[in-house]
Amino acid sequence: MSHHESASASLSTHRDADLDDPRIRETVIAATRGIAERTGVELEDVECETNRLTIRVHGSTLMAIGLLAELRRSTDHWHFEHCGRHLWMAGPDEDQRDEADDQ
């Protein structure tokens, strides 16, 4: 890894959630920064859109994905406890399950 390598990774919100709510947005950003600090990952940037969170870290793609995995686990649990629904998309299979449920 070069001394200047950066990597990005993103999480997409569940279709029933968004990051426009200031309380949710601030909590997710604070959690991102806290996890990065605790794990020693140098966080270069956090972008929060309505339906996506993107981070850029100083390091490898694996570091970025690892940080997001922990962020997803902790904030999805928090969001489900407080709002009764998931915050993050589970993956491509989720769309297929949701479409089958709608039929």
Provide, for the chain, the percentages of residues in helix, strand and coil under a 3-state DSSP scheme, each rounded to the nearest 5.
Answer: 50, 20, 25
Would you state the pLDDT for residue 96?
A: 43
Predicted structure pTM score: 0.82
What is the domain partition of the chain in residue ranges? 6-102
Q: List, in order, residues 6 or more apart from 43 with CB less than 8 Å away.
A: 32, 33, 36, 55, 56, 57, 67
Homologous superfamily of 6-102 in CATH? Transposase IS200-like (3.30.70.1290)
Would you state the pLDDT for residue 103?
A: 47
Taking the C-alpha atoms of residue 22 and residue 78, their distance in angstroms, rounded to an integer, is 15
Would you state the pLDDT for residue 23?
A: 94
**Mean pLDDT, 10 residues at a time, over the chain (103 residues)?**
80 92 96 97 96 97 96 95 92 52 48
Would you state the pLDDT for residue 18?
A: 84
